[in-house]
Structure 1
Amino acid sequence: MSDQVVDPTAPVSSASSIVDDDELLLRRLGYKQTLVRSYKLLESWAASFAAVYTLGGLRATFSIGIYGGGPQAYWITYLISSVFVLVTAAVLAEICSSLPAAGSIYFWAAEAAGPRFGRLFAFVVAWWTTTAWTTFVASNSQGATYYMLSQINVWGGSFTTDPSDIKFRALAWICSQLFLAIAMATCFLGARVYKYIFRLSVFMILLDFLLNIIWVPIGVSKTYGFRSAEFAFLETINWTGAPPAWNWMLSFFATGGIMIGFDASGHIAEETKNASLVAARGIWWSAVSCVAIGFPYVILFLFCMPDLDTFSSLTAPQPFVMLYSLALGKAGSVVMIVLIIFTTVLNTSVSIVAASRLVYAIARDGVLPFSGWISKVAPNGQPKNALWVIWGVSAIVLCTILPSPTAFSSLISASGVPTVASWGLIAFGRFFLTPHQLMKSRWSLGFLSRPFHLIAFLWNTFLSGVMFSPLFFPVDGAGLNYAPVIMGAVTLFALACWWFIPEEKWLEKRKIRAVIASNQENFDDIVGHQSEKNGVRERIVVRGAEEEA
């Protein structure tokens, strides 16, 4: 096990005898502070808000929402998804408040499952979420490329934009690797500097929103005109070939399936001040913000989309580029696409930060090969070697663009569903396996906690099923959704790790019991020391606190 893990009951040296309440809580979870705590509520909220980037997700899946169920299903499923996403966010925020640690999600799974199944759940969730974040980073880089190369269609260029052509795939691979490298370069900035990346990401997302809300309707009014209210709210469509009921359900793929990533606040919890409260608030308010900003966008484009014949003929690698061209003109589409690409690169950067903290957390427990190297932290507070690992894996995933378009799309099909499945598994553990295990959280759901756990489990299980489904029927090799295959392979790998890696190597039952006991018995001791005197937080003497406990 890495030397970064400490025994929370061990004597404290005089050099480290004074720590604040964040570090004390982390110590009682079994770790010492190595990352730099500099983020506050704004950065915590911005991390999740930027990681989700609701507008980008809606653009990427808009055609799926229209083809599956039509406009009526699209806006209704968005509202339904919003309710259940907020319930899930509330559940995760409460758990995060009790266990605010880097790479939190696998820790949450271990606590939710209890000593008997905690280690198993932790292995599964750790590998599910690592797969999700790294493939998402790769798919985001490709997404930025597709926005750029779709301008070839707008301007009538002669270069092919057919993904089945190796020339296009080669160019797409080069550009995707370039965008990945740009996003990665920002991640090596120190924590005190990187907070401005969080803020810039939020600014760009809000600018994206405002330009769409203001400029696009003006452009549509001067070009092809708006769709009717009857079309926007009542039109049903079945272009998926699925049975009518399931065709309607597939709209959840384009609504609930894109609101993923608001657990990023938890992944940077060890870099957040007052983390047991601030990280939880970051998760909750980012989910609220993402839901709120998305609904006007959904309604906007149901009115501003062209007629169905025109819409179905938008065959660029990213059809939304052609839609902007129709509404705003060629020059206007360039302005929007430059903004979107820049924002997407920032979104990729934030996602890399979240993913690297997860890899860092797993490595410091000694599970990965070369864990000692991966878990090292640079003087500026960044786990730079974990960042290199994310870069390497994402770059390898991007290489699958070259053999065939199916190879890459198969891998990135698992970029969202593992996270959704992880949330469902955590809620399952809390409701069925540890229902009577008291969870002391400063951000608490109170009497709503237990019903919310059940709702979150049912919702995320349902959403996983939708995201596993093929999107077009009848199903052939080209249209097969490979997410279940990828998930199955990752799950088998996680089970093999759980079986073959000795318990003393990672997450012993004794440690899980210690985490649970620390949460239940010592939390009040920690937060009881929090006070403000002349604007300066009172420091806590660890040895005295332990003697009092």
Structure 2
Amino acid sequence: MGQDEDTKVLHSMGYAQELSRRMGAFSNFAISFSIICILAGGITSYPLAMGTGGGFQATVGWIVGGVFALVVATSLGQIASAYPTAGGLYHWSSILGGRGWGWATAWINLLGLIFVVASVNVGVWLLFRDLVLAGVFHMDVTAWTTLSTDPLPAGMTADQVAANNNHAYLVQVIAVSLITFCQAVCNHFGIKLTTALTDFSGYLILVVAVVLTAMFLIWGASWDFSRVTTFVNNTGEAGGGYVPEPRTALIAFLIGLLYPLYTITGFDASAHTSEETRDARNAVPRGMIHSVFWSLVFGFVMALSFVLASPDMAATAKDGANAWFNLFNNLPAPQLLKDVIAISIVVANFICALAGLTSTSRMIFAFARDGGLPGSSVWKRVSPTWRTPVPAIWLGAVLSVAATLYSPAFAALAAGCALFLYVSYAMPIAAGLLAEGKTWTEFGPFRLGIWSKPLALLTILGVFVLMYAGIQPPFDILINYAIGLLVLLVVLWFGIESRRFKGPPIGAEIAKRQAEIAAAERAVGEAV
């Protein structure tokens, strides 16, 4: 299947080939692999694993969460093969479950994608501050670091700590805004630049993960594998208060699954860039599945090295948010090697969020193209020069920064990312479960056969478990997001959108769009 066939498939779904189809199979894999980025969540969320179930949670829990992510990616891959469009989840839910289901999927997916960019960029700043500014250049970053009030730092009053924390928050807002601005600029100037960066990131993540793992094993490993087989409930004070209230072992394990599930998410980027990928019906499902599989494998080995290199498991758990940083900073490896790895980790995280912004902008573009957003006529525009959805890119950037203003804490943003994205993943899968063999009769080359419905059921069950874990303290702030979003969606749908929103084109509407498709393609084609 070549590019002409890709365009033909897109036309058959009622859409013009406005975006530039420059991505090959590896690039489609790389953009999801870059968003997953085991050097992002695999490091910044490591304290969550230690603060719930210790070494067992970080390793066995990683396998459990990673296998579940692979199930979800496989189920989504079957749908992506049938409907290779930008904003895939929204389009799939609309076709398989109806306009309202698709409209709700779009908003939940969009919120999850905004949380991806927001959480990773907060992580970029924290990593840059602690690994590069403090670790490489030996700067004092205390004034840019949030300090604990219980107990108060030695020699400081409560007012001084509050002033310091307000200053640290302001610095974080400025830093995250600048980081996001740079990512938006890269996205603005064409998919070719973004693809080059994410391709590079794919190789960078693999190399750095291997070297980082080797460093922990060579200079720190205790080779005490009992740490992997022993579950230690570190909720409460034992885990540095990362999960502040003591919980049962089962609940602790479920909360700890947010470690792999926050990390191994965002793989829908392969679907969101379907209209920029050659041979999309084959490349997109492979891109999603392979990105999850290799992240599962390399991430497990990397997490295992962290666990084996801990000099004292109880002390590491007690370190809370600083658990991984203390391990890395105290590792007796050559300083030059540590400096290079530290800078590489920050670069990989930057590109991770950059790819996340690419995915977010394509979701905004696709939803606006069907009239799903306020001001859709603006957000659906494609630059004839760069062949990118420029207004959607900048809207995604602004919204992601705004998310950090309401919830500046990394842990809450990370949990929100996992929760909302996996709910949005389950929605088209659930619709497909009910539609398969009935209204859904046209499939792509990637099929699950007899495994389709069992995997769909497993996805739905797993997402309900994740929803329960995702609203436990300290992530209970997400209840406000969830309730607010649910109420807003119900009011908007039954009050306005059920009458206004038409959804993606189907049936005779596709034929009516052919003149518009031709005009849209001429508009961008004349400028290329």
Residues 104-163 of structure 1 show CA distances to partners (whole Å, capped at 9, x for unaligned) of 1111112231xxxx1111111101111111122122111111112225765482733225
Instruction: Select which of 294, 297, 313 maps to 1:308.
Output: 313
Per the alignment, residue 540 of structure 1 pairs with none
| Conserved 8 A contact 2:103-2:503 | no
Distance 1:409 1:65 in 2: 12
1:361–1:386 CA distance, 2 compared to 1 (3 A): same
1:413–1:257 CA distance, 2 compared to 1 (3 A): closer
Opposite residue 111 of structure 1, the aligned amino acid is I
Unaligned 5+ residue runs, structure 1? 1-18, 471-478, 518-549
Residues 320-369 of structure 1 show CA distances to partners (whole Å, capped at 9, x for unaligned) of 23221100466654333211111111111100000000000111112322
Per the alignment, residue 535 of structure 1 pairs with none
Distance 1:153 1:197 in 2: 26
Opposite residue 157 of structure 1, the aligned amino acid is D
Distance 1:105 1:516 in 2: 19
Per the alignment, residue 245 of structure 1 pairs with 250
Distance 1:209 1:101 in 2: 32
Alignment of 1:497-516 (within 5 A): 497-503=492-498, 505-508=500-503, 511-512=505-506
Aligned residues: CA RMSD: 2.7
Distance 1:82 1:363 in 2: 33
Distance 2:22 2:293 in 1: 24
**1:383 equivalent in alignment to 2:389:** yes
Greater displacement, 488-497 / 171-180? 488-497
Instruction: Select which of 278, 297, 303 maps to 2:302.
Output: 297
1:45–1:419 CA distance, 2 compared to 1 (3 A): same
Per the alignment, residue 156 of structure 2 pairs with none
1:492–1:433 CA distance, 2 compared to 1 (3 A): farther
Distance 1:515 1:339 in 2: 49
1:318–1:181 CA distance, 2 compared to 1 (3 A): farther
1:493–1:328 CA distance, 2 compared to 1 (3 A): farther
| Conserved 8 A contact 1:52-1:258 | yes
Per the alignment, residue 524 of structure 1 pairs with none
Per the alignment, residue 547 of structure 1 pairs with none
Instruction: Select which of 58, 62, 70 maps to 1:86.
Output: 70
| Conserved 8 A contact 1:55-1:297 | no
Per the alignment, residue 101 of structure 2 pairs with 121
Distance 1:20 1:304 in 2: 53
Opposite residue 247 of structure 1, the aligned amino acid is A
Instruction: Select which of 439, 445, 448 maps to 1:445.
Output: 448
**1:141 equivalent in alignment to 2:136:** no
Matched position secondary structure for 2:416: coil
Alignment of 1:10-25 (within 5 A): 20-25=4-9
1:238–1:439 CA distance, 2 compared to 1 (3 A): farther
Percent identity reads 21
Opposite residue 198 of structure 2, the aligned amino acid is F
Per the alignment, residue 430 of structure 1 pairs with 432
| Conserved 8 A contact 2:372-2:503 | no
1:59–1:398 CA distance, 2 compared to 1 (3 A): same
Residues 13-67 of structure 1 show CA distances to partners (whole Å, capped at 9, x for unaligned) of xxxxxx9221121112111111111111011111111111123212122121122
Instruction: Select which of 395, 404, 407 maps to 1:398.
Output: 404
Residues 143-189 of structure 1 show CA distances to partners (whole Å, capped at 9, x for unaligned) of 11111222576548273322551122222222222221222221122
Per the alignment, residue 522 of structure 1 pairs with none
Greater displacement, 159-168 / 271-280? 159-168
Per the alignment, residue 483 of structure 1 pairs with 478
Shift of 1:377: 0.9
1:425–1:369 CA distance, 2 compared to 1 (3 A): closer
1:502–1:398 CA distance, 2 compared to 1 (3 A): closer
1:187–1:156 CA distance, 2 compared to 1 (3 A): closer
Opposite residue 395 of structure 2, the aligned amino acid is V
Opposite residue 251 of structure 2, the aligned amino acid is W
Matched position secondary structure for 2:501: coil
Distance 2:413 2:308 in 1: 34
1:365–1:133 CA distance, 2 compared to 1 (3 A): same
Unaligned 5+ residue runs, structure 2? 148-161, 237-245, 512-528
| Conserved 8 A contact 1:110-1:512 | no
Matched position secondary structure for 2:300: helix
Distance 2:257 2:459 in 1: 15
Greater displacement, 485-494 / 101-110? 485-494
1:421–1:516 CA distance, 2 compared to 1 (3 A): farther
| Conserved 8 A contact 2:124-2:350 | yes
| Conserved 8 A contact 1:147-1:318 | no
Greater displacement, 435-444 / 93-102? 435-444
Greater displacement, 158-167 / 421-430? 158-167
| Conserved 8 A contact 2:45-2:411 | no
TM-score for the superposition, normalised by structure 2: 0.84
1:480–1:134 CA distance, 2 compared to 1 (3 A): closer
**1:468 equivalent in alignment to 2:463:** no
Opposite residue 438 of structure 1, the aligned amino acid is T
